[in-house]
Amino acid sequence: MNELQLKIEALKEKIVPGYFKSIDVDEGWYQIVIDCDADLTAIDPDYQIFQVKQKFGSLRFYFYTKKLEKSKEMFEVIKDYEVKSLNTCEATGKPGVLMKSKTGWYRTLNPEYAISLANTSTYTICTKSR
């Protein structure tokens, strides 16, 4: 395992007990998730994670804090990282754009990377604004 993978594995310990211990993003977003966690931890060292995933080509980061007065600040941090994910390839971490598969799946991918995929013809760049 590389350093980013180890950090993601360690981050799973912050998942609320009883929830599935999984960070469901590809490696291109690992650094975004790790940085988001660091900023959230600076606000509330005891916060917990419900879920971290990709949805419609954007990062989703769901959390719990006992410090309700800090939750608005924490939502703003997450919003900033969600915006960053919209321009970062999920797979490579390089600049990315929203793409849609013929089957309706949205992903943020680097166009050059998307061309290299075996199922390249299934992804097209989206023209809709986010």
The answer as to whether 110 is a domain residue is yes
User: For residue 130, what pLDDT band results from cuts at 50, 70 and 90?
Assistant: very low
More confident: 127 or 5: 5
Q: Encode pLDDT of 11-50 as tens digits.
A: 999 999 999 999 999 999 999 999 999 999 999 999 999 9
pLDDT at 123: 81
pLDDT at 119 over 70: no
**What is the domain extent for residue 78?**
3-125
Enter the tokens of residue 12: 């799973």
The answer as to whether 18 is a domain residue is yes
The answer as to whether 58 is a domain residue is yes
The answer as to whether 89 is a domain residue is yes
pLDDT at 97: 96
The answer as to whether 130 is a domain residue is no
Query: What CA–CA distances, in Å, run from 99 to 13, 115, 126?
Result: 32, 12, 5
Enter the tokens of residue 92: 């490579």
Number of domains in the chain: 1
pLDDT at 55: 96
d(Cα 74, Cα 66) in Å, to the nearest integer? 12
Q: Encode pLDDT of 71-108 as tens digits.
A: 999 999 999 999 999 999 999 999 999 999 888 889 99
